[in-house]
Amino acid sequence: MAYSAPRGTVDILPESSGKWQELEQLIRTICANYNVKEMRTPIFEHTELFTRAVGDTTDVVTKEMYSFEDKKKRAITLRPEGTAGIARSYVEHKLFALPEKLQKFYYMGPMFRYERPGNGRQRQFHQFGVEMIGLESAYIDVECMVMAVTVVEALGIQDIQLHINSLGDDESRKAYREALIKHFEPVVDELCHDCQQRFEKNPLRILDCKVDHEHPAMKNAPRTIDYLSESAKAHFDKVCSLLDDLEIDYVVDTNLVRGLDYYSHTVFEIISDDPKMGQGATIGAGGRYNSMISELGGPEVPGVGFAFGMERLMLALGDSDNQGNGLDVYVMPLGQEAKDLAMQIVTMLRANGFTCDMDQCDRGLKGQFKSADRYHAHFSMIIGEEEVKKEVVNMKCNHSKEQSVVRLEDIVEFIDRHFEGGHEHE
């Protein structure tokens, strides 16, 4: 039997893991700039967490979760997103009792959704997400959006648009729900089976139906923004004016309702027009969630956050020439005694903080030089019978092509001196 990775999963091979590490490093640097700290939560959680937090009428919960019973018949789900786990952990560890009222977290890691795999869409994919929990403030909504825009800009991703909308508070949502019911009631029989159920349970979800999106009733459906309460409108106006002050471009997109149930007030998406992803692909999205913490048993503490699909960020990044950093030294022994010595030398060099490797295939010089080249080694260190006898090695700088004979005890000093002299890798 030939084994292959399950549909919708991808192996990240060494040739591209360097690019992933670069992306992760850049994200960590930006998070440090924003004083956002990492939180790592489990990859699986109790299923109940997601049905409660994400919503039991959403596609994510009803169609896309990887759920199973464990050996003790507990209902377990591989996390389809990161916000619910962070909120659960925040409540469980009583982080609301910390002296700093606003807590800012980030996370990176695999998420799981049973979706049709496609361009930038997988069943196991990675998200980088940020959650800012503790304050119901338009300033924090905007901090999240600015941070999300900073990430895409730092990656050099162009042709992006920030779309924003407001779903309002409880009062606005109740008024909007009634408007939706009134609007869809005459045509409910023409909608798909799922939408008929959505109509009963959660009419807002009709708006992100993939089957009925061409139905005429969708085009002139009521807009959330027309049903905002006074305070919800004031919150949204403040968000817009802060974005204006910071000269962040955005589009108010009144069709934006997001596919997860926990949102209130501000919602946003970062949409790319980069042809590599297909026009209008959403690379990141988020919004405010003011009742999730209390619904999970915590106090009334509001939150706001966003998440990027990391595969989509990688796609947008394209095929940059990723060779990573080369080796400092590639050690090339010729013969058994030289190999024994080489083993000692690489161990000693690694202990001294140098990146190095050696030939383990007992090849001739030509093959070994090819490896030194493939690893972009700064030095090739040649050890033949003669060198073993004289207790020296032959160091060839692959940049200047200079060769030097160096005594064993002087190797570290020699390399240090060479690098100090400005002979770093280009």
- The site for ligand HAM (CB under 6 A) is made up of 81-83, 113, 115, 120-122, 125, 127, 129, 131, 259-260, 282-287, 305-309, 311-312
Which CB, 43 or 405, lies closer to ligand HAM?
A: 43
Torsion angle of the four alpha carbons 255, 260, 264, 269, in this order, in degrees rounded to the nearest 10: -50
CB of 210 to ligand HAM, least distance (A): 14
Structure tokens at 202: 């959660």
Is the Cβ–Cβ distance between 320 and 26 less than 8 Å? Answer: no
Minimal CB distance residue for ligand HAM: 309
Which CB, 271 or 392, lies closer to ligand HAM?
A: 271
CB of 297 to ligand HAM, least distance (A): 19
CB of 119 to ligand HAM, least distance (A): 10
Which CB, 144 or 382, lies closer to ligand HAM?
A: 144
Which CB, 62 or 355, lies closer to ligand HAM?
A: 62
CB of 69 to ligand HAM, least distance (A): 24
Largest CA distance in the chain: 95
CB of 383 to ligand HAM, least distance (A): 49
Which CB, 131 or 194, lies closer to ligand HAM?
A: 131
Which CB, 312 or 396, lies closer to ligand HAM?
A: 312
CB of 105 to ligand HAM, least distance (A): 10
Which CB, 283 or 406, lies closer to ligand HAM?
A: 283
Which CB, 140 or 228, lies closer to ligand HAM?
A: 140
Which CB, 85 or 203, lies closer to ligand HAM?
A: 85
CB of 275 to ligand HAM, least distance (A): 17
CB of 131 to ligand HAM, least distance (A): 5
Show the 3-state SS of the chain.
CCCCCCCCCCCCCHHHHHHHHHHHHHHHHHHHHCCCEECCCCCEEEHHHHHHHCCCCCHHHHHCCEEEECCCCCEEEECCCCHHHHHHHHHHCCHHHCCCCCEEEEEEEEEECCCCCECCECCEEEEEEEEEECCCCHHHHHHHHHHHHHHHHHCCCCCEEEEEEECCCHHHHHHHHHHHHHHHHHHHHHCCHHHHHHHHHCHHHHHHCCCCCCCHHHHCCCCHHHHCCHHHHHHHHHHHHHHHHCCCCCEECCCCCCCCCCCEEEEEEEEECCHHHCCCEEEEEEEEECCHHHHCCCCCCCEEEEEEEHHHHHHHHCCCCCCCCCCCEEEEECCHHHHHHHHHHHHHHHHCCCCEEECCCCCCHHHHHHHHHHCCCCEEEEECHHHHHHCEEEEEECCCCCEEEEEHHHHHHHHHHHHHCCCCCC
CB of 66 to ligand HAM, least distance (A): 12
String of b and e for 33-48 (b: at least 16 CB within 10 Å)?
A: ebebeebebeeebebe
CB atoms within 10 A of CB 118: 9
Which CB, 261 or 311, lies closer to ligand HAM?
A: 311
CB of 290 to ligand HAM, least distance (A): 12
Q: How far apart are CA 257 and CA 165, in angstroms?
A: 8
CB of 285 to ligand HAM, least distance (A): 4
How many residues are given for the chain? 426
Which CB, 121 or 350, lies closer to ligand HAM?
A: 121
Q: How far apart are CA 31 and CA 37, in angstroms?
A: 7
